[in-house]
């Protein structure tokens, strides 16, 4: 088998990741932006190209593996987290990405998604959230807003949507972030941090579907209004936003409220802490969305560090081996209640 | 003390039966191990309810363990028990119909009070009316005698009563001239931190033995001589243990790490339990969130270079169907074990059946052929698992291994193979990065050349969409036609690399019996008897069902009739009829039990007459 250890420094450029296969998303699709930023990030990870694996399920997002020149596996609907778990456990030296969508990860694959988060396997999940089923041509998804008119909800969807960041936090993901396709710098920065995180990292990308749900995130991307609606979270910094950075979020004891900087000097404001030490704040932040008529935070919600699944498994194998001795075929066959017939 | 006789028997079938909390499986297991060590051949049949603790005393809660032991080769747990050990009225009621005429019944008379009789729905006490007059009944107050033996024990009365299965075991040890040594050792190891339990269980065992020896009730003990088995080292093994060991052995012979992705399901969970013990053999077990994740994670592990398996039972295989199709189209080595149970739906979780054959053959969307192999006995699960993996790696294909509840839980002595007799499994990855194409094939086997993540220069894409040879997605009609044909042809070629089963009996005659899987033992016994009666019948037992052996068509031509015994409504029969255009008849039972060899013999005779 090839040497999969990453010993020498890796010198790669984004061109090294250009796939001979031309991307076939619709013109103007937000997925192109995610692909472009990912190709910038990959050479910076210090991982050899042959050790990078993209796993996907089904949907527009899930064509992603074909468009990067690494190992790639386009699997079946919803199951990419499970396939990726097997890949990472089989070879912990690999850098494994799961590229998924709102239908793939939260509907048909919802079970696998929460369990992947819970186990803290060192995998980076990028969820392209366009709040619609694109590849099947426009049905409402588990993140579609209530009332949304789609082909399968001609009178408006009556379902309540999932909040992907809140789900990932609740399921125990150790790195949880949100970004937007139209914010390329932010997207690049978040993808890189997620990819460098040791443990399960989850990135929700608000992604515009130009065909079936165009403008779903307009309040967050339209230059005229976005400063009033978007908060760029940074660790250890207050949550300042507004056309002239004149507003901020502050903690009122039970939740976040909007305050004017004029009345609340910066040093008195609550600061963002990513370290996972304050679940109440994490969940409160995740619930600030257009749905709740609050400014929407993007950035890192949680960045905590606990042992990964695969490291604990490797350690268990080592510990048991140290205790019982390395098992050979000879000892295997001759174990149990044996007896001799002469 | 009266004079006691010792009689020598060729074989005997004993059934231990009691409440599901009475420890009957443990009792049977101990009797089995001791019998194996004594050198008899044996075959066992644990028969227990799906409920962990069904209402005490009721017929639903009866748990049974049957063992046939012999000085001759044994292939079944016996059709009708010679001896029934019944710990309560319900156990007597459930098992009496299968006991042979004039058989021995040992009952715990203490449990035959009105309440238990009511629970078992007996209108009058069978020990007092004449309903047992056809049998030799040994009435033993097992609970009272156990309490008496443990009168100095510090245990509470309720806990003392839990030792009564050891008392019963002790009696049977005397009756069948077994030594108590193995069980005493086992008790010492099992309860090493609970000296009061070591003391109680050992005393109960010895008290049962001494009681049988000294009481006037038991006038005769029996001896079953050592079986004339091939010399060598043996191990008593269940089918699920053997399956687990077969895969570890395959991994060692391939120089691979073994990965199991699995979700708990009866009666397959014991394979997961067994493999989870072997961390020091580099075995990775992943208890997935569901059946689908079990197989999907195994597919991922296989893709990344581990030797991967997933284990399940019928309903689980249904859930794995789509992912199995993914393994077919991406052509990854994988073995899916289906320990069959009664179906459809939840069906009979703890009972045996062979009704998933068609599911294994065809239960996927699209043209998705997989090789299918079936194990024929508990110890054969080792070889079947090993062979399934050899083919999976030789052809880069998923393989379905079928066992069932009967052989998975049943046990028999297994002649331990020598390490050097186990073939080396060659893992053949691509070696030319410059010209690598993921669907380029070996001209002989048609297996594609794999390259796994970590191999520099071989970066490529695979997936569930149809691909051309380069791994690019293709909707070209001719490409799909070619790929479908290639995948089918590849599986057909598996039989050029497998050993054909031996035909039992004359190469031509009136009747050919074709069977598969766990019915092996029952058919063997029926065939032995048929031949001793001079009947013109031969037998062919399939190991690989897909593809069928090359020579089967020619064999069938030499017989006037074909009979296919199965524990389903005729699934192999359908395949045989379709493949060979022969008017095959079925012998079918779906009662949750192994096939009764006496009934099969009658069916053979009736075929020959008709």
User: What is the DSSP secondary-structure string of B379-438?
Assistant: THHHHHHHHHHHHHHHHT-EEEEEEEHHHHH-EEEEEPPPGGGSPPPP--B---STT--T
DSSP state of A138: S
Q: What is the pLDDT of residues A193-216, one digit of tens each?
A: 999 999 999 999 999 999 999 999
3-state DSSP call for residue A92? coil
Contacts of A89 in chain B (CB under 8 A): 259, 284, 286, 297, 300-301
Whether chain A has a CB inside 8 Å of the CB on B461: the answer is: yes
Whether chain A has a CB inside 8 Å of the CB on B278: the answer is: yes
Contacts of B257 in chain A (CB under 8 A): 90
In chain A, the residue whose alpha carbon lies closest to the alpha carbon of B38 is A339
Query: Residue A40: which CATH number?
Result: 3.40.50.970
Q: What is the pLDDT of residues B237-280, one digit of tens each?
A: 999 999 999 999 999 999 999 999 999 999 999 999 999 999 99
Structure tokens at B357: 């054959």
In a domain, residue B481? The reply is no
Cα distance between residue A131 and residue B345, in whole Å: 35
B257/B220 same-domain check:
no
Q: Is the pLDDT of residue A273 over 80?
A: yes
B339/B293 same-domain check:
yes
Binary contact (B279, A112; C-beta < 8 A): no
Cα dihedral B569, B571, B573, B577, rounded to 10, equals 130
In a domain, residue B340? The reply is yes
Cα distance between residue B179 and residue B35, in whole Å: 9
Considering only CB atoms, A327 lies closest to which of B278, B298, B458, namely B278
Structure tokens at B469: 């040879």
Q: Which helix (H) or strand (E) holds B316?
A: helix B314-329
B241/B220 same-domain check:
no
Domain that holds residue B75: 5-224
Structure tokens at A308: 């990964």
B131/B247 same-domain check:
no
In a domain, residue B256? The reply is yes
In chain B, the residue whose alpha carbon lies closest to the alpha carbon of A323 is B280
In chain B, the residue whose alpha carbon lies closest to the alpha carbon of A315 is B279
Whether chain A has a CB inside 8 Å of the CB on B416: the answer is: yes
- In sequence order, the β-bridge partners of residue B467 are B473
B250/B156 same-domain check:
no
What average pLDDT does range A322-337 have in this prediction?
93
**Testing the interface with A: which of B287, B463, B468, B473 to mutate, by most A Cβ within 10 A?**
B463
pLDDT recorded at residue A4:
43
Cα distance between residue A168 and residue A164, in whole Å: 6
Residue A329: name the closest of B389, B419, B279 by CA: B419
In a domain, residue A239? The reply is no
In a domain, residue A276? The reply is no
* Structural domains in chain B (count): 3
In a domain, residue A327? The reply is no
In a domain, residue A110? The reply is yes
Per-residue pLDDT band at B216 (split at 50, 70, 90): confident
Whether chain A has a CB inside 8 Å of the CB on B567: the answer is: no
B74/B35 same-domain check:
yes
Contacts of B307 in chain A (CB under 8 A): none
What is chain A's mean pLDDT, rounded?
A: 95
Nearby residues of A211 by Cβ (< 8 Å), 6 or more positions away: A26, A134, A138
Q: Is the pLDDT of residue B494 over 70?
A: yes
Per-residue pLDDT band at A9 (split at 50, 70, 90): low
pLDDT recorded at residue A8:
55
In a domain, residue B445? The reply is no
Q: Exposure string (b/e) for B262-288, b if CB count within 10 Å is 16 or more? A: bbebbbbbbbbebbbebbbbbbbbbeb
Residue A191, min C-alpha distance to chain B (Å): 22
Considering only CB atoms, A341 lies closest to which of B232, B284, B288, namely B232
Whether chain A has a CB inside 8 Å of the CB on B232: the answer is: yes
Q: Are the beta carbons of B397 and B371 closer than 8 angstroms? A: yes
Per-residue pLDDT band at B220 (split at 50, 70, 90): confident
**Testing the interface with A: which of B453, B455, B460, B467 to mutate, by most A Cβ within 10 A?**
B453
Q: Is the peptide bond before B343 cis (omega within 30 degrees of 0)?
A: no
Q: Is the pLDDT of residue A2 over 60?
A: no
Considering only CB atoms, B464 lies closest to which of A75, A86, A89, namely A75
Binary contact (A340, B233; C-beta < 8 A): yes
Query: Positive or negative CA dihedral for B334, B340, B343, B349?
Result: negative
What average pLDDT does range B589-602 have in this prediction?
95
Residue B260 CA, distance from chain mean position: 19
Per-residue pLDDT band at B228 (split at 50, 70, 90): confident
In a domain, residue B485? The reply is no
Contacts of A94 in chain B (CB under 8 A): 304, 453-454
In a domain, residue A56? The reply is yes
B296/B412 same-domain check:
yes
In chain A, the residue whose alpha carbon lies closest to the alpha carbon of B278 is A327
Q: What is the pLDDT of residues B119-130, one digit of tens each?
A: 999 999 999 998
Query: Residue B593: which CATH number?
Result: 3.40.50.920
Binary contact (B293, A1; C-beta < 8 A): no
Q: Is the pLDDT of residue B2 over 80?
A: no
What is the ipTM score, two decimals?
A: 0.96
Residue B540: name the closest of B520, B561, B567, B518 by CA: B520
What is chain B's mean pLDDT, rounded?
A: 95
Query: Which of B 74-133 lie inside 8 A of A, CB atoms?
Result: none
Per-residue pLDDT band at A5 (split at 50, 70, 90): very low
Considering only CB atoms, B454 lies closest to which of A51, A58, A330, namely A51
In a domain, residue A119? The reply is yes
Binary contact (A340, B282; C-beta < 8 A): no
**Count of A–B CB contacts within 8 Å?**
224
Query: Positive or negative CA dihedral for B572, B575, B579, B580?
Result: positive
In a domain, residue A340? The reply is no
In a domain, residue B370? The reply is yes
Q: Are the beta carbons of B597 and B589 closer than 8 angstroms? A: no
Domain that holds residue A154: 14-216+307-316
What average pLDDT does range A42-71 have in this prediction?
97
Question: How many C-alpha atoms does B287 have within 13 Å on its Cβ side?
Answer: 11
What average pLDDT does range A8-28 have in this prediction?
90
In a domain, residue B74? The reply is yes
Query: Residue B255: which CATH number?
Result: 3.40.50.970
Whether chain A has a CB inside 8 Å of the CB on B536: the answer is: no
Whether chain A has a CB inside 8 Å of the CB on B179: the answer is: no
In chain A, the residue whose alpha carbon lies closest to the alpha carbon of B296 is A83
Q: Is the pLDDT of residue B1 over 50?
A: no
B157/B278 same-domain check:
no
B66/B156 same-domain check:
yes
Per-residue pLDDT band at A3 (split at 50, 70, 90): very low
In a domain, residue A265? The reply is no
Phi, psi of B251 (to 5 degrees): -60, -45
Considering only CB atoms, B464 lies closest to which of A4, A76, A323, namely A76
B406/B536 same-domain check:
no
Cα distance between residue B181 and residue B134, in whole Å: 35
Q: Are the beta carbons of A129 and A97 closer than 8 angstroms? A: no
* Structural domains in chain A (count): 1
In a domain, residue B466? The reply is no
Contacts of A123 in chain B (CB under 8 A): none
Cα distance between residue B235 and residue A225, in whole Å: 76
Binary contact (A86, B300; C-beta < 8 A): yes
Q: Which helix (H) or strand (E) holds B259?
A: strand B258-262
């Amino acid at each position: 088998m090839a040497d999969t250890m990453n010993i020498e420094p890796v010198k790669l450029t984004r061109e090294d990741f250009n796939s001979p296969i031309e991307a076939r998303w619709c013109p103007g699709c937000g997925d192109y932006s995610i692909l472009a930023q990912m190709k910038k990030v990959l050479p910076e990870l210090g991982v050899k190209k042959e050790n990078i694996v993209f796993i996907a399920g089904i949907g527009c997002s899930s064509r992603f593996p074909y468009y990067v020149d690494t190992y790639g596996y386009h699997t079946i609907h919803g199951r990419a987290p499970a396939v990726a778990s097997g890949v990472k456990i089989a070879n912990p030296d690999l850098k494994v990405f799961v590229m998924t969508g709102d239908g793939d990860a939260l509907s048909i694959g919802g079970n696998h998604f929460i369990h992947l988060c819970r186990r803290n396997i060192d995998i980076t999940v990028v969820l392209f959230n366009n709040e619609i089923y694109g590849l099947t041509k426009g049905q409402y998804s588990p993140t579609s807003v209530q009332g949304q008119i789609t082909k399968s909800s001609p009178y408006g969807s009556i379902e309540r949507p999932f909040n992907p960041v809140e789900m990932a936090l609740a399921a125990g993901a150790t790195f949880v972030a949100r970004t937007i396709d139209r914010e390329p710098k932010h997207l690049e920065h978040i993808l890189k941090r997620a990819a460098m995180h040791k443990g399960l990292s989850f990135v929700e990308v608000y992604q515009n579907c130009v065909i079936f749900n165009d403008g779903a995130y307009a309040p967050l991307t339209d230059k005229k209004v976005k400063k009033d609606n978007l908060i760029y979270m940074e660790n250890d910094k207050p949550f300042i936003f507004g056309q002239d950075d004149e507003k901020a979020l502050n903690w009122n004891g039970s939740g976040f409220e909007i305050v004017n900087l004029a009345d609340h000097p910066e040093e008195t404001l609550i600061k963002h802490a990513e370290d996972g030490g304050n679940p109440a704040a994490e969940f409160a932040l995740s619930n600030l969305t257009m749905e709740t008529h609050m400014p929407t935070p993007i950035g890192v919600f949680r960045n905590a560090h606990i042992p990964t699944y695969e490291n604990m498994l490797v350690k268990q194998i080592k510990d048991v081996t140290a205790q019982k001795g390395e098992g050979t075929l000879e000892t295997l066959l001759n174990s149990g209640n044996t007896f001799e017939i002469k | 003390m009266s004079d006691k006789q010792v009689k020598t028997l060729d074989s005997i079938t004993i059934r231990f039966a009691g409440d599901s909390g009475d420890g009957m499986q443990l009792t049977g297991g101990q009797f089995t191990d001791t019998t194996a060590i004594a050198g008899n051949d044996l075959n066992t049949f644990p028969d227990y309810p799906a409920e962990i603790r069904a209402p005490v005393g009721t017929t639903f809660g009866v748990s049974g363990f049957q063992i046939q032991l012999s000085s001759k080769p044994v292939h079944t747990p016996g059709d009708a028990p010679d001896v029934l050990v019944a710990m309560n009225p319900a156990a007597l009621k459930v098992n009496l119909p299968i006991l042979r005429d004039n058989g021995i019944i040992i009952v715990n008379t203490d449990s035959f009070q009105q309440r238990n009789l009511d629970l078992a729905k007996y209108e009058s006490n069978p020990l007092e009316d004449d309903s047992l007059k056809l049998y030799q009944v040994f009435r033993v107050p097992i609970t009272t005698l156990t309490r008496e033996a443990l009168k100095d024990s510090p245990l509470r009365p309720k806990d003392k009563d839990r030792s009564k299965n050891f008392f019963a075991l002790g009696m049977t040890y005397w009756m069948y001239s077994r030594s108590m040594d193995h069980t005493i050792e086992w008790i010492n190891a099992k309860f090493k931190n609970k000296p009061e339990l070591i003391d109680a269980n050992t005393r109960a065992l010895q008290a049962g033995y001494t009681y049988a020896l000294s009481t006037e009730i038991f006038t005769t003990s029996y001896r079953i001589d050592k079986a004339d088995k091939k010399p060598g080292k043996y191990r008593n093994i269940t089918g699920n243990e053997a399956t687990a060991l077969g895969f570890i052995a395959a991994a060692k012979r391939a120089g691979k790490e073994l990965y199991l992705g699995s979700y708990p399901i009866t009666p397959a969970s014991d394979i997961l339990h067994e493999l989870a013990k072997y961390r020091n053999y580099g075995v990775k077990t992943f208890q997935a969130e569901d059946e689908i994740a079990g197989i999907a994670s195994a597919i991922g592990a296989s893709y990344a270079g581990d030797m991967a398996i997933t284990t399940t039972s019928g309903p689980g295989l249904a859930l794995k169907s789509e992912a199995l199709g993914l393994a077919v189209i991406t052509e990854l080595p994988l073995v899916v074990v289906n320990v069959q149970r009664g179906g459809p739906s939840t069906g009979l979780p703890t009972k045996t059946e062979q009704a998933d054959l068609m599911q294994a053959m065809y239960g996927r969307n699209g043209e998705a052929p997989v090789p299918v192999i079936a194990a024929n006995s508990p110890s054969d699960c080792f070889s079947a698992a090993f062979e399934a993996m050899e083919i999976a790696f030789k052809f880069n294909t998923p393989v379905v291994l079928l066992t069932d509840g009967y052989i998975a839980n049943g046990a028999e002595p297994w002649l331990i193979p020598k390490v050097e007799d186990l073939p080396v499994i060659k893992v053949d990855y691509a070696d030319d990065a410059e010209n690598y194409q993921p669907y380029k094939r070996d001209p002989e086997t048609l297996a594609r050349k794999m390259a796994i993540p970590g191999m520099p220069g071989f970066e490529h894409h695979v997936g569930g969409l149809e691909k051309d040879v380069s791994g690019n997605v293709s909707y070209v009609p001719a490409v799909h036609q070619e790929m479908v044909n290639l995948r089918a042809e590849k599986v057909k070629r598996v039989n050029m690399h497998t050993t054909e089963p031996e035909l039992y009996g004359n190469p031509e005659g009136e009747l050919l019996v074709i069977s598969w899987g766990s019915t092996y033992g029952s058919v063997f016994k029926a065939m032995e008897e048929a031949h001793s009666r001079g009947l013109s019948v031969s037998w062919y037992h399939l190991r690989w069902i897909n593809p069928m052996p090359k020579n089967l068509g020619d064999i069938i031509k030499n017989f006037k009739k074909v009979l296919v015994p199965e524990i389903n409504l005729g699934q192999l029969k359908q395949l045989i009829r379709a493949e060979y255009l022969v008017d095959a008849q079925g012998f079918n039972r779906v009662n949750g039990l192994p096939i009764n060899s006496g009934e099969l013999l009658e069916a053979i005779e009736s075929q020959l007459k008709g």
